[in-house]
Structure 1
Amino acid sequence: MSEPLPASDVTPGDEAPDLLLTGLLFYDLVFTGLGQPPVPGEEIWTRGMGSGPGGIANLAVAAARFGLRTSLATVFGDDFYGRYCREVLAGQEGIDLSLSRTAPAGWHTPVTVSLALGDDRALVTNGHEPPYSQDELIRDPPAARSALVHIGAEPQQWLAKAAASGTKIFADVGWDPSQQWSSDVLDRLSLCHAFLPNEGEAMAYTRTDTPTAALHALSDLVPVAVVTRGRDGAIAVDQSTGEFAEAGALDVDVLDATGAGDVFGASFVAASLAGWPLAERLRFAALAAGLSVRLHGGALAAPGWGGVAEWWRGVAADPGAEALRREFGFLTDRIPTDPGPPPPRAPVTPLYDLPS
């Protein structure tokens, strides 16, 4: 029987990472409890608020909280937001930032205001292109077990190097504002072990009209194909094992959907590295994403083992949760003996002492 990945007690940098990440870091400020979007000339008071690292940090924190040795290559501004995010990621979450850099003076950490509206959110961001590219940050990639990357039409040289050295590449993709859905993006999948788009992206890039048809088209291009479907869960195919699986979304009240897809992806990677069957990988990722939307933010809403264990104890004690106990019974053999407490959550106002 495969085992869960235990919480790592290895000092970042002492061993090759389990997961290599690179991308743009944001400082997120999330407002929840809006009855409606604001309109010009109007002031709306919200019922909730949280703040913390966002963007690529969502993936990094979600993975680290499941015990993966996580190495992050990103750019921090030399400002309050950058210093605060660096302290949270390295000091609180134990993420290796040895590949990251601080930007020259004049470049600030991008800031996003997220307005949570029902099951979705609207984003307002201020930022600039980072002063260092992914290839400049990573150069010769470390011998990581896996990498989770956002692919685009442009080649990423570090990605080809990582794949050639045996790193398993898990990829997602973003919405194409031009709506051209270039086939060049799918060409990048030749380097990948797994691809995890949402259903809109999957259908657009494959020129299909159903999520299932998109999944089958993608399964011809990559060993493991996953299509996420929001409230409808996710479907997946693993060609290396011949498995097909589908999982429903967790039935929860959504407070903030920011970063839920990132939490899904990082959790799927964690379960994949542990060698779980496809159905368990998919249900576990859907569970982690579902638990995250009950809280503010993306990175600091990631449940980790402590959050999953807390939820599972509640399910085990609930007489009306028999269906959940059947669906997630595999967690009994997966949750570590000492999962730790639920992790820190997104604060309303970050408490951080700036250097004098």
Structure 2
Amino acid sequence: MDVHEDDDRPDVLLTGLLFYDLVLTGLGRPPAPGEEIWTSGMGCGPGGIANLAVAAARFGLRTSLATVFGDDFYGAHCQEVLAGQEGVDLALSRVADAWPTPVTVSLALPGAQGAAHGHDRALVTHGQEPPYSQDTLMGDPPPARTALVHLEAEPRAWLAKAATNGTLIHADVGWDPTQQWSAALLEQLALCHAFLPNEAEAMAYTRTDSAMAALHALADLVPVAVVTRGGDGAIAVDQTTGEFAEVPALDVEVLDATGAGDVFGASFVAASLGGWPLEQRLRFAVLAAGLSVGHHGGGLAAPGWYGVDQWWRTVTDPGLRQAYGFLADRLPPNVGPPVRYAPVTPPARP
């Protein structure tokens, strides 16, 4: 799939908070106070907004990231991974003196009955408010084919500027810790081309009682509405083409679900830039997210073209071969080298 055509703009524009993630897996239960538990798995690497950046870059998208790195080991390591290893453009990013890169420790735990994929996470984060805001980093944002954004209660000025210059905004939203679910946030969808919340968020913001009802409510507000449903797959409506699609999730073994939603979003954008039909876009995003949960971390678990190609070459289930048969024509001739997953510890610096 050639997403570049003759367009020299970035394919994806991103801004947001970056974290250094340390993910622990293999825990049968959370530790009790005063208890030490040894675990069988660990991975580390850049997280937060970096999840979207890596996932997009691994599909060959020209990815421009505006974020803040601390002037510390974690910040330097994240820069090396993003720019050197993954080819993400960091020209809009800044290094902040005497500001620590936020660090998150994630414990991947067996989830409560009925939880998505049967897994849950516990997170502990150390961080401070970054010294540069998204609007400061972006300024007058460069024209881009798309932007992947995380909507917040306070609208960002750069978002309207990007929409005005022709950038197609693909947005998601996070859990509201106040549980007020202000409908005012949805007013920002007037700037967006697509909205991709999970079903809990979609139902809460639309005051509906099912994922399908939430989808129809959102379809009145944004051209492309997608609702992800964890272990139940995803549903979507594209008002620009009149398409509706509903696809199931893959039956996969989950190691770590960190960043799976980000991988879904970046994959959906990659397929959208290729002009694929809605069902193919949705299946592709579900597939990429499903492949990511078998590895540690967020972005570094993203399969990229190489991982999707490896899956397609080895899958034998007749139903999957039929449902994903479109990959035979969509996979590029050169899928690139094997992706580098999150290491247990970062390599020693020279």
Residue in 2 aligned with 1:51? 44
Residue in 1 aligned with 2:107? 115
Instruction: List aligned pairs for 1:195-344, cutoff 5 A.
Output: 195-315=195-315, 318=316, 321-344=317-340
RMSD (Å), alpha carbons? 1.4
Whole-Å separation in 1 of the counterparts to 2:246 and 2:124:
34
Structure 1 residue 184 displacement after superposition: 1.4
Residue in 1 aligned with 2:188? 188
Deviations 1:222-254 (A, max 9, x none): 000000000000000000100000111111100
Residue in 2 aligned with 1:152? 152
Structure 2 gap segments, 5+ residues each: 111-118
Structure 1 residue 5 displacement after superposition: 3.5
Structure 1 residue 341 displacement after superposition: 3.0
Whole-Å separation in 1 of the counterparts to 2:185 and 2:40:
40
Structure 1 residue 122 displacement after superposition: 1.3
Runs of 4+ in 1 over 6 A off after TM superposition: none
**Pairing partner for 2:14 from 5, 21, 40:** 21
Whole-Å separation in 2 of the counterparts to 1:31 and 1:55:
16
Structure 1 residue 57 displacement after superposition: 0.4
Whole-Å separation in 2 of the counterparts to 1:42 and 1:154:
41
**Pairing partner for 1:350 from 315, 326, 346:** 346
Residue in 1 aligned with 2:176? 176
TM-score (norm 2): 0.96
Residue in 2 aligned with 1:79? 72
Structure 1 residue 353 displacement after superposition: 1.1
Deviations 1:287-323 (A, max 9, x none): 00000000000011000000000111001xx3xx111
Whole-Å separation in 2 of the counterparts to 1:4 and 1:71:
18
Structure 1 gap segments, 5+ residues each: none
TM-score (norm 1): 0.94
Whole-Å separation in 2 of the counterparts to 1:33 and 1:310:
25
Aligned AA (1:309): D
Preserved CA contact (<8 Å) 1:59 1:265? yes
Deviations 1:35-78 (A, max 9, x none): 00111011111110110000000000000000100000000000
Sequence identity (%):
75
Aligned AA (2:324): F
Deviations 1:315-347 (A, max 9, x none): 1xx3xx111101100000011111123300100
Structure 1 residue 123 displacement after superposition: 0.9
Deviations 1:127-165 (A, max 9, x none): 011110000000011110000000112121110000001
